[in-house]
Amino acid sequence: MMFYCPPPLTQAALGVFVVLYLTSLHTQAQENAQLQIPPSLVECYNDSHFMNRDNRLPANIETFINLIEKVENSYAFNQDIRQLAVSLLHRFRQDGIQRAPGVMRTVGVLPFSPTGFQFPKFRILLSRLIPGDAMRFPNDTLTREERCSLHFMLSSSVDMQMRGDEHQVCNKLAQYRAQRLPRSAQHKPKNSFVGDVETIDNFKFNGSKRKTSHIRTNAKDQEYDFGWAETDFGVSHDNDISHCPVENGVIHTDWGTVATGTLVAGIAAGLQPQTVQLKTLLALASRRPGSGQSLPQTATVNVDNRWAATLAGDLAEVALIQMPMTGSDTASIGADGAWNSTVMPRWYFLSQRHNVEMTDAEIRGGLDGLIIAMNIANWRTQAPNLKLSQLLRMYYSMDRVLGSNIMACNRKENFPIYAPLNIMTAQTSAFAQVLDREIQLKVTLTPEAIAQFSTGASNSLTSYIPLMDRRLDCLKPSEDIFTRTSILTDLYIFLDTAWSYQIVENYVNYVVQRMNIRPYGSSVTLLTASGASLLANQSYSIIDFFKQWNFETHSQAAKPGFSLPTILSKATELTHGLFEIESKRNSLGLRSLIMLLMPSPLAYVNEHDFDYCQRYLDFLYRTKPDINFIYYSGGVLVRFKSYVKDPRTDLFLLDSERDVEVSSLPVVQRIKNEPRRITSPCSMHFNGSRHHQQQVKQYLPLGFVNFYKIAANNFFTPGYMRYIKIKALSRTAFVICTSRRNSWPYRNTISSSPSTEQECLQVSNNVFSYDLTDLCLSYQIKHECPPLFLSIQAQAFADSSQIMCEEEECLSLQQTQFLLITNNLDCSNQGQQLLKSIELILVITFLTIKNLYK
């Protein structure tokens, strides 16, 4: 929507029309712009449930994207990216919410209201610059927990009141700040410090060598009771406010904490851009200029909603609230902080209690939102069906957005391109004039002073951004092939509930969050290690997993303990059921199969069960060669070495004294290294050999590689026309490698010496075919015949039009596609007889041993 300056004869008439039009938008604006908690958000405040942050979903970019995906994939959802971005703002965002101190929640009294300094700017945006509503938002798609989590992620405010944990949290922030600051900067207390503190994970307690994975704050066990005692907009008595206040409305990303509402507002503004004359907006102001106050000289400047929603909006707050109080020509821009946890972020503590009008999170969110807003129109031309979730996944990754050089990690390099100082200053000054008429300040400002402060704020931001995030630059391409492959697995976790939830929560969730849990992706199931009862049913949604497994469900679980015989029996049952489902769907599997066992430090396998477990495992490895048992255990690992295929690769120490990532990353890497299984869909029906062909489409980002494994069970018995084929569907080239010994065959573009244990071939328009008929001809026993390992590697570069992928299975819009075809894989009936015989023998053996030791 654009407003142009018409000829003088019609300008007055048009001005009246514009005022009337914007006034109608204001009266029809969504209820979030009103001076109260709207009815749609009352559910998040009418009891203390969500005031305990443990009852909210973790505040990170993956959770946020998953919630958006859930809406996008809901039944009968037919909104485009513009409609969804606008409705998200109008449905869930309300900035500046504070609690009335000393007021209890009673019938008819909700002690919360948008009284913070963030609200006036937000109100202008929703009512005048990003008009819309949330009438068509599918509320029933999300649960109350999901709706309120979205609200808290999108709504900006700062909780300034003392919590009682400052001696622990603030001291650690101060220590880390001192370590990170250059020596010269430590002697300039008026300037914001230089650093990129993102988590408290690496902080150390005084007098302790232990690194903590997270901080437990006693405030989280209390009802939400933060808020300023007076509406001083960031200024309060020092003894009333925390030294490390909590910032709300932010999410954790790998490239810095981001103000979510500002980000989405920028996207929404970019999808429906408009410029409005300043004098038009001033005419709509709730407070008119005084009798002796004239319109500012900048009254001819048009306010661009893309700037107002992002950097200019926050800079205007700095110019109006902070700078008049300091008497300085420069502003204190930026306020860094740290999360309570990298894995389950719920508390974001700021490192300072003054000058929080434009925090680091708001700078990142504003800059990201502005960059996206300036490019979104072009991207929609390339991809008309672009989804909001796809856009965010591409931007907050190394994938780049539709082949451009735009992504979160290079925001600093893009800053001077998309935010030139002259435009930023003009937009800040113009919007500050509007905000001055809506916000209650302690001072009265002239238009000239506002323009001067806006210039100072803009200059300060230009100087500050190059000093931010020195460790958050784009990652250099790694030579490690496993950085260019993605996980696709069916993960079953058997957790010994002797682990306390407070200790094990982050270690479990770190692994699960990196498993690519999503529709058409990996699945996760959580069971107890004692009786194999469910803690979290099989889920293809990380959000569902978080909701199923929490402190309450963990505490209510069956008795703690570790029973390997029970686990093995349950693993057989689970895999049998999984293969049955795949057979009915004519699926080739195409996920690895992982059993992750997490015994407590005191757990062990009873010596009476040793022989039984050994035989059972031998049986499983022969009949289900794709199954993998991995131990992530406390205590001494050697006690489990007899129960894994390879103790060197399948035993991992869960040391609660070590950082979460140090302990858990090797487990993630081990799971990632396991090739995806290709399994005959008829292997569980055993209806005799027959000609049977399956084909499935696969997706692969540029430069990535998929590893597959076909166990000998699928081609051991005699058969005819037994093969696997790969057919390229994208207009790109693929390198296909095969091996019988190397689990990860691939063409190494760096090494010039080819491997003698693999064969590689490049295909583009032609079809790759591999004959499976005689692979086990020289073997008499099935388990001695090695599997076939296969890799498919996509070329590294291509035009975005060559790899456009708009199907539901696509994780992003930029993925190559190929067809994987198998023909006449083994469906012999020998496996079923073996299965029944061994299961019967093992059960009898187990019962006999148990009776002997009664």
What is the pLDDT, as a whole number, of residue 160? 86
Q: Which of 252-261, 325-334, 438-447, 806-815 bottoms out in mean pLDDT, i.e. has the lowest?
A: 806-815
Confidence of residue 435 (pLDDT cuts 50, 70, 90): very high
Band the pLDDT of 814: cuts 50, 70, 90. Answer: confident
Residue 169: pLDDT over 70: yes
Is there a contact between 226 and 198 (Cβ–Cβ < 8 Å)? no
The amino acid sitting at 199 is T
Q: How many CB atoms lie within 10 A of CB 833?
A: 11
Asked if pLDDT for residue 237 goes beyond 60, the answer is no
Mean of pLDDT values over 139-157: 96
How large is the average pLDDT for residues 649-672?
A: 95
Q: Which residue has the higher pLDDT, 228 or 369?
A: 369
- Quick one: pLDDT at residue 288? 59
Cα 246 to Cα 349: distance, rounded to the nearest angstrom: 5
Per-residue pLDDT, 181: 46
Mean pLDDT over residues 238-251, rounded? 85
Residue 715 one-letter amino acid: F
Q: What is the pLDDT of residue 197?
A: 46
Query: Which of 246-250, 439-443, 813-817 has the highest mean predicted lDDT (pLDDT)?
Result: 246-250
Q: What is the mean pLDDT of the chain?
A: 84
Instruction: Output b/e per residue, 262-300; b: 16+ Cβ within 10 A.
Output: bbbbbbbbbbbbbbbbbbbbbbbbeeeeeeeeeebebbe
pLDDT of residue 230: 34
Cα–Cα distance measured from residue 700 to residue 691, given in angstroms and rounded to the nearest whole number? 29
Q: If pLDDT is split at 50, 70 and 90, which confidence band does 188 have? A: very low
Alpha carbons 819 and 763: distance in angstroms, whole number: 12
Q: Which residue has the tokens 């978080």?
A: 546
Residue 149 in this model has a pLDDT that exceeds 70: yes
pLDDT at 420 over 60: yes
Position 800 scores a pLDDT of 76
User: Are 651 and 639 contacting, i.e. CB atoms less than 8 angstroms apart?
Assistant: no
Average of pLDDT values for 440-465?
94
Gap between the terminal Cα atoms of the chain: 82
Please check whether residue 43 is in contact with residue 105, taking contact to mean a CB–CB distance below 8 angstroms: no
pLDDT band at 803 (very low <50, low <70, confident <90, very high): confident
**Of all residues in the chain, what percent carry a pLDDT higher than 70?**
82
- Look at 636 and 783; give whichever has higher pLDDT: 636
Q: Is the dihedral of CA 245, 249, 252, 257 positive or negative?
A: negative
How much is the pLDDT for 748?
Answer: 76
Residue 494 has pLDDT above 90, yes or no: yes
Whether residue 841 contacts residue 747, with contact meaning beta carbons closer than 8 Å, is answered with no
Report whether pLDDT(574) > 50: yes
Q: Which of 18-22, 234-238, 393-397, 685-689 has the highest mean pLDDT?
A: 393-397
Statement: residue 383 has pLDDT above 60: yes
pLDDT above 60 (res 102):
yes
Q: What pLDDT does residue 693 have?
A: 86
- Helices 260-271 and 144-154 cross at an angle (nearest 10°) of 90
Residue 241: the pLDDT is: 83
Higher pLDDT among residues 78 and 23, named by residue: 78
Range of weakest confidence among 295-299, 666-670, 810-814 = 295-299
Strands 534-539, 592-598: pairing kind: unpaired
The predicted-structure confidence for 706-740, as pLDDT tens digits, reads as follows 999 999 999 998 878 899 999 999 989 999 999 99
- For 599-616, the pLDDT digits (tens) are 999 999 999 999 999 999
Q: Residues near 581 by Cβ (< 8 Å), separated by ≥ 6?
A: 587
Question: For residues 458 and 366, is the Cβ–Cβ distance under 8 A?
Answer: no
pLDDT of residue 583: 86
For residue 476, pLDDT over 80 is answered with no
- Across the range 77-93, mean pLDDT stands at 96
CA 823, CA 587: separation in Å to the nearest integer? Answer: 13
Provide mean pLDDT across the span 45-64. 91
The pLDDT, as a whole number, for residue 186 is: 36
pLDDT at 238 over 60: no
Q: Is the pLDDT of residue 16 over 90?
A: no
* Sequential DSSP letters for 633-683: ESS-GGGGGGGSS-HHHHEEE--TTS-HHHHHHHHHHHHHHSPEEB--TTT
Q: Decide if 197 contacts 180 (C-beta within 8 A).
A: yes
Q: Average of pLDDT values for 391-405?
A: 90
Question: What are 819-851's pLDDT values in tens digits?
Answer: 999 998 887 644 444 455 555 555 555 555 555
Q: Which residue has the higher pLDDT, 140 or 11?
A: 140
pLDDT, tens digit, 9 for 90 and up, residues 741-775:
999 998 876 554 456 688 999 998 889 999 999 99
Distance between CA atoms of residues 691 and 825, nearest Å: 8
Return the pLDDT at 295: 58
Confidence of residue 297 (pLDDT cuts 50, 70, 90): low
| Cβ partners under 8 Å of residue 700, min gap 6 | 706, 734, 792, 794, 815, 816, 817, 818
pLDDT of residue 167: 82
Nearest CA among 359, 366, 841 for reference residue 619: 841
- The reported pLDDT for the residue numbered 54 is 87
Under the banding of pLDDT at 50, 70 and 90, the label for residue 235 is: very low
More confident residue, 22 or 98: 98
Average the pLDDT over 548-573 and give the result.
Answer: 93
User: Token pair of 458, please?
Assistant: 């803009």
Read off the pLDDT band of 783 (50, 70, 90): confident
In this prediction, residue 799 carries a pLDDT of 81
Q: How confident is the model at residue 177 (pLDDT cuts 50, 70, 90)?
A: low
Question: 826 to each of 96, 519, 579, 592, 831, how far by Cα in Å?
Answer: 64, 29, 14, 19, 10
